Amino acid sequence: MKADLIIKNAKQLVTSQGASRKPKIKEELGQIEVITDGVLAVVGDSIVAVGTTSEVLQQLDITPETKVIDATGKVVLPGLVDPHTHLVFAGSRENEWDLKLKGVPYLDILAQGGGILSTVRATRAASLEELVQTGLKYADQMLAQGTTTAEAKSGYGLTTEDEIKTLEAIREINQRHPLDLVPTFLGAHAVPLEYKGEPEKFVDLVIEEMLPEVAAKNLAEFCDVFCEQGVFSVEQSRRILKAAKEQGFKLKIHADEIVPLGGAELAAELEAVSADHLLVISDEGIRQMAEKQVMAVLLPGTTFYLREDHYAPARKMIEQGVPVALATDFNPGSCPNNSLQIIMTIACLYLKMTPAEVINAMTINAAHAIGRAKEIGSLEPGKKADIVVFDAPTYQYLPYRFGSNLAEKIIKNGQLVIGGED
């Protein structure tokens, strides 16, 4: 068999295979498929063979054009998938650290017109090209740390024009950058100041003007709502998400992060693809998400950064059969981190997930959370060749060694896009 690219002698080739139809749940989440002394072959943008170097290498036709990567002593993983980011925004919010460090809560800063609303002011003032440029810079950082596909939300425009501008920036970044982006419309991220005291009117605007325009321009696959006390109620979230579903969007929801409102139950009722955060999810919410197989996208980097006193009940969700994925939540306020490698450590230490569970939750299960599990998320013949070679002897080393970027070579769509110098 002819190959364009071969990775050979991998100390551990972690395939995350066998779950392209349904996410891994319960004990399966902790099962990871590791080939020792692994080899992987790529033709064009697809994986064509995976196995042990001794068995598979002899079946491969290596020509002078074949790119051969020797992964002796290294771990090879599917490209990481980040299923929850607020990638496109202008400015930053380090000026809020004084308040934050004095203990002023996140929702109080927002209620005072700061927080998300401060990023909204900066994003409205930015041009499309400025948003593209900052987004490309963040995309570079993510790719360099091993993320090859990410979801990206709008939500800092909050006018029809500025939400469209943001979604166009996401489309543009997706076209210009190797990182693949899956776009989500989050027009209901906050009630903008011009609608203060009239949230229902803003909800009408989202439903009657923004959603149809985003749908007509085909700018988003998912619709999301920030369902939270003082932001959007369960009833308002239901109205928006129902309308979005009728217009063909798949659904996500920021649910039960700070105040337990019942966002998880709403996600189950509407058969959302995912409910995200879930620090204060109820037992009934867990039961209903497991029953409907709504993915829980957990964002422990945010819990860490907000200094919340407890994390999402990951162990309980896993035991009860909720499919779990992990993401960064990269955004300028509650989690200005876009490295999934750091999330690996936080997820092990504070969600008490094992390294194997964490890797499945950032590869195949994360691909399910954005509707891409047929194409990405595991190393199997037929899947897209999105691969990371880590400078690590075992996969457990990844969460253990936090703070350094261990991603050494990144292959995206069959192309060696980072680490090809030698």
Judged by the rule CB under 5 A, the positions of this chain that interact with Zn ion are 329
**Quick check: 331 binds ligand IZC (CB under 6 A)?**
yes
Least gap, CB of 17 to Zn ion (angstroms):
29
Answer for which of 38, 78, 79, 115 binds ligand IZC (CB under 6 A) is 115
| 39 vs 116 by CB, closer to ligand IZC | 116
CA 35/CA 16 separation, integer angstroms: 11
CA 169/CA 165 separation, integer angstroms: 6
Q: What are the b/e assignments for 191-230, b being 16+ CB within 10 Å?
A: bbeebeeebeebbebbbeebbebbbeeebbbbbbbbbbee
Report H helices in 249-339: 263-269, 283-292, 300-305, 314-319
| 57 vs 346 by CB, closer to ligand IZC | 346
Mask 78-97, x = binds ligand IZC (CB under 6 A)? --------x-----------
CA 228/CA 199 separation, integer angstroms: 13
Least gap, CB of 38 to ligand IZC (angstroms):
39
* Nearest residue to the partner ligand IZC, using Cβ: 333
The vertex-331 CA angle with 330 and 333, nearest 5°, equals: 130
Check: CB of residue 387 under 8 Å from CB of residue 397: no
Which span sits near ligand IZC by CB under 6 A: 160-168, 234-242, 328-336, 404-412? 328-336
| 6 vs 227 by CB, closer to ligand IZC | 227
**Quick check: 146 binds ligand IZC (CB under 6 A)?**
no
Which span sits near ligand IZC by CB under 6 A: 5-13, 14-22, 330-338, 373-381? 330-338
Tokens for 401, please give them: 């060694």
What does residue 359 show for φ and ψ, rounded to 5 degrees? -65, -45
Answer for which of 333, 355, 377, 399 binds ligand IZC (CB under 6 A) is 333
Alpha-carbon torsion 244, 84, 16, 377, what sign? positive
**Quick check: 332 binds ligand IZC (CB under 6 A)?**
yes
| 153 vs 239 by CB, closer to Zn ion | 153
Answer for which of 24, 254, 372, 409 binds ligand IZC (CB under 6 A) is 254
Check: CB of residue 75 under 8 Å from CB of residue 392: yes
Footprint of ligand IZC on this chain (CB under 6 A)?
A: 86, 115-116, 119, 226, 254, 331-334
